[in-house]
Amino acid sequence: MVPLLYLGGLVVLFLLWIKVKGLDYVIVHQRWIFVCLFLLPLSVIFDAYYYARAWLIFKMCSAPKLHDQRVRDIQRQVRDWRKEGTKTYMCTGRPGWLTVSLRVGKYKKTHKNIMINMMDILEVDTKRQVVRVEPLANMGQVTALLNSIGWTLPVLPELDDLTVGGLVMGTGIESSSHIYGLFQHICVAYELVLADGSLVRCTEEENTDLFHAVPWSCGTLGFLVAAEIKIVPAKPWVKLHYEPVRGLENICKRFTEASANKQNTFVEGLQYSLDSAVIMTGTMTDHAEPDKINRIGLHFKPWFFKHVEGYLKKDCVGVEYIPLRHYYHRHTRSIFWELQVLTHNRFYLCLIGSGKSGGQVNNSKFLLCFSNHS
C-alpha cells in the first residue's frame, strides 16, 4: 500500500510540475521523460510485433499469396485516382513517424495517399542467389532471416529500419560498396505499379530504360511492389582491423589504399576531427579467436563510434572478431552519432546506451518522430 501511495504522490507532483511549466516546455526541454516512459516501450513492442509477424508469415509461406492480393489492391487505388480525375498527385500513405528521417512530410496531407502495406520477404532462391522482397521489408528483417540460413546481401546499409523501397528509390551505401557499388547495383529486378494502374516488371533485359531509371527516382515513376536482390554466402564473424590515422592527406591516402584492396570485404573510416580518423578494414570468417571476440550489439556495450574512438585516443591498432549481424547494425543503437545530439540526459543515455553503457533497444523511428515535433 505504501509504495502505491508513494507512486501516486510522484504522479501528482509530476502533473503539477507539467501544469506549472507548460506541456510545450516539458516536451522540448525534458523530452527524455516522454522518451523513457512512452517511446522506448512502444518501440520495443513495435519491433517485437513486426519481427514475430515476419517470421510467422515466412515460415507459413503465406506471404507470396498475400502479395498478389496486395498488388491488386494498389492497382485498384491507382485506378480509382484516375476515375476521380487525377486532381492531385499520388504518394505513398506511409505515415511520417515510420520513416528514418527528420523531415515532416506535409505533402501527404494534400496528395492522394496510396496505402502500400507490403513489408514481407517473399522468397529466398539460393540457386539463383536472389531474395525477392516487398518494398517495406527493412534491413533488420532481411539480415535476421538471411544470416540465419547462411546468406547475406552484398550491400547492407547499417540501420535496421532502412527499407528496401527507400534504398531503391533513393540510394544506399555500405562499407562493402567499394566492391559491389551502391544498393541499386545489387538489384536484378523491380516490379512497379505505374500511374495507369498496370503492373510492370523490369530487368537488364526487360524494360531496360525503366530498370535504370528507377534508382534515385524517389518514387516518381511508379509504386515499387517487389524487388529481387542478389545474395551472397555469409560467414558468422567479421574480423575487423582498427587503425588510427593522423593528418588529412594520410587519411585520404590510407582510405584509398584500403578501398583498392579487394581482399577487404569491408572498409570504413570514422573521422573525429579534420586531421584524425580511424580506418577499419574487415573480412568475413568462419572462426574467431575467443579472446578477441566483441559482441558490440549487446545492451551493455558502448556505442560503436565511441568504441572506435578509443583506438584513436590510445593511438593503437587493434583486431576484433564481431558477429556478422552485430557488425551490420553497428550504428543502429546510436543512429550513427545522432542520439547524443538529440538528448544529453544522463538517465536516458544510461537506459538506452551511451559511451559507457548500452541498450539493445532500437528506438530510431520513435525518437526521430519525436524530434520532428519538439
The domains of the chain, with CATH numbers, are 63-233 (3.30.465.10), 237-372 (no CATH)
Residue with cell 513486426: 50
How sure is the predictor about 297, in pLDDT bands with cuts at 50, 70 and 90?
Answer: confident
CA 360 to chain CA mean position, Å: 14
Whether residue 366 has pLDDT greater than 50: no
pLDDT of residue 40: 73
Task: Read off the pLDDT of each residue in 136-148 and give the average, rounded to a whole number.
Answer: 90
pLDDT in tens, 236-261: 999 999 999 999 999 999 999 999 99
More confident residue, 107 or 366: 107
How sure is the predictor about 347, in pLDDT bands with cuts at 50, 70 and 90?
Answer: low
Of the listed ranges 203-212, 217-226, 231-240, 351-360, the least confidently predicted one is 351-360
Beta bridge partners of 270: 278
Task: Read off the pLDDT of each residue in 83-93 and give the average, rounded to a whole number.
Answer: 90
pLDDT of residue 102: 65
Q: How far is CA 201 from CA 77, 206, 211, in A?
A: 19, 7, 9
pLDDT of residue 6: 72
Most confident of 22-31, 110-119, 138-147, 320-329: 320-329
How would you classify residue 167: left for phi > 0, otherwise alpha for psi between -120 and 50, otherwise beta?
alpha
Pairing of strands 223-230, 187-193: antiparallel
Calculate the average pLDDT of the chain.
85
Task: Read off the pLDDT of each residue in 330-338 and give the average, rounded to a whole number.
Answer: 80
How sure is the predictor about 3, in pLDDT bands with cuts at 50, 70 and 90?
Answer: confident
More confident residue, 45 or 237: 237
Of the listed ranges 41-55, 103-117, 208-222, 323-337, the least confidently predicted one is 41-55
In whole angstroms, give the CA distance from residue 307 to residue 29: 28
pLDDT of residue 191: 97
pLDDT of residue 249: 96
The single-letter DSSP state of residue 219 is T
Q: How far is CA 340 from CA 138, 276, 309, 336, 371, in A?
A: 24, 20, 15, 9, 13
How would you classify residue 22: left for phi > 0, otherwise alpha for psi between -120 and 50, otherwise beta?
left
Angle between helices 63-83 and 40-59 (to 10 degrees): 110
